Structure 1
Amino acid sequence: MNQENFSPQESLQVIESMIGKVKTSYHDTGVGPILWGCVVTICSIVSYFAHVYKHPQWFAIWLLTLVAVVPQIVISIKEKKEKKFVTHNDIVSGAVWTTFGFSMMVISMIENWGRLHIHSSIYMLIYGIPTIITGWVCNVKSMIVGGILCWVFAISSVFVDYPYPFLFMAASAIAAWLIPGLLLNYKYRKLKAANV
């Protein structure tokens, strides 16, 4: 076995080079945020119009979020297979979004059982938390801005009459997930085309 002796500077260069390869070898496709940005925006806008036109089953559109879990699982499995390694950021991000998903499911179940009425501002507040954490951990500024906008929309929605908070919820989904997802997807495609 041929063993080379490296100087401290050469060793440091090799380590820096390997870290650089790790940082650039995987990039988020943005497909998950695009999916959820579209789903929540559609549900929010349909809920707004259903309320305006006094449709008794306005909440039924939110079942679309349950349907969207299936493609999200498929997307996650596919992206996991394409990864060459798992970083701490991946682990933190996965834990944050899994916790968020279960929390939203539990809140929805409690609300549907009639035990608690939750104002849309609370949902928007909760939307912002995992979005900001992910943006911060993964250095995605558009997600940080989107998460902060969720909080701004949450506060603003308290000052408007029902059903206008649904429009704020749609704006939150666009700001937190759809736009960052599209930006991530653009970056991913650009890097993939360059074979990075």
Structure 2
Amino acid sequence: MRYAIITLLSILLVNTVNAETITGKVVGVSDGDTITVLDSNKHQVKVRLAQIDAPEKKQDYGQASKKALSAAVFNKDVIVEVEAIDRYKRTVGKVLVDGIDVNLRQVSAGMAWVYRQYAKDQAYYTAEDTAKAAKVGLWSKPNPTPPWEYRHSGKKSSKKFKLTDMATWVRQRFLHF
């Protein structure tokens, strides 16, 4: 019975998160796939762009990817279609500026890979194939190293997502305690 209740609560929390959108102004760009949005309640929300993975800052095209994302979103009003909360407690979502999918734009410009582990939208795969064929951005180099390989070349993370992390986020975001 206890397991059933925990499972039900998990499903409800995930569905609540999936239904949410955040509107606000971008006040920070950390890298090619992470921004900070100041929402309507004046809370800063760290947002990881869903379905994509940009080069790490020290990788080839890491700084170019950050600059491209900054040019697209910094100091602009955005809508974030929330998909999840990651293990670092960042909101994961699709970022829209004037109706344009910024995540997809990063992939189309050769500034990010499709994050195959999480991507579900075929348009992202098509955009990556087109960018690769045109040799734009990171695809101008032969055999660029995907960021997930770059990150794991040194050390592996032992952090795991916990249900309590999501419960804390929902409590803070919706219940304000």
TM-score (norm 1): 0.27
Between Structure 1 and Structure 2, which shows a larger proportion of helix residues?
A: 1
Which one has the bigger strand percentage?
Answer: 2
Highest relative contact order (Cα 8 Å, sep 6+), 1 or 2?
A: 1
Quick check: which has more Rg, 1 or 2? 1
TM-score if structure 2 supplies the norm length?
A: 0.29
